[in-house]
Amino acid sequence: MLKVVVPGQIEALARSAVDSALAVHRALGPGLLESAYRDCLQLELSTRGHAVEREQLLPIRYRDHTIPRAYRIDLLVDRELLIELKAVEALQPIHRVQLTTYLRLLRLPLGLLINFHVPLLKEGLDRILNLDFQTEVSPT
């Protein structure tokens, strides 16, 4: 059976990121712009000791050419966890596809898609796995 196995330190990082997002959502509630949540989540993660890069422009390779500013990620935490933020009525399939593509390009196993425009944050939280990290595991 194939399964994406996420290393323990990245799982711990994801738990810390979710706890941080919950703290921001409890303090601010829904209804603000994505940029407000991004800035507050960056601050919350930083106060918890994480290195956070925000709105980083990243390149892609296409036909032996580098496209220097091909995409922009919301938050990269400790260079191991990608977080994409939204403040929309409802997450759409394209939001998940976008994060999946970013994970593949960055070669990361796990990303979080967080929509702050919900009454309860758990309703706006998705874990997205990079299927490139699938490995064979024995059934238990």
How is 78-136 classified by DSSP, letter by letter? TTTEEEEEE-SSS--HHHHHHHHHHHHHHT-SEEEEEE-SSSSGGGGEEEEE-GGGEEE
Is 69 strand, coil or helix?
strand
Identify whether 9 is part of a domain. Answer: no
> Strands 110-115 and 52-62: what pairing?
unpaired
Q: What is the CATH number of the domain that holds 45?
A: 3.90.320.10
Identify whether 34 is part of a domain. Answer: yes
Identify whether 51 is part of a domain. Answer: yes
**How confident is the model over 6-23, as pLDDT tens digits?**
999 999 999 999 999 999
Identify whether 20 is part of a domain. Answer: yes
Domain assignment of residue 124, given as a range: 14-59+66-133
**How confident is the model over 93-134, as pLDDT tens digits?**
999 999 999 999 999 999 999 999 999 999 999 999 999 988
| pTM check: above 0.75 | yes
Identify whether 108 is part of a domain. Answer: yes
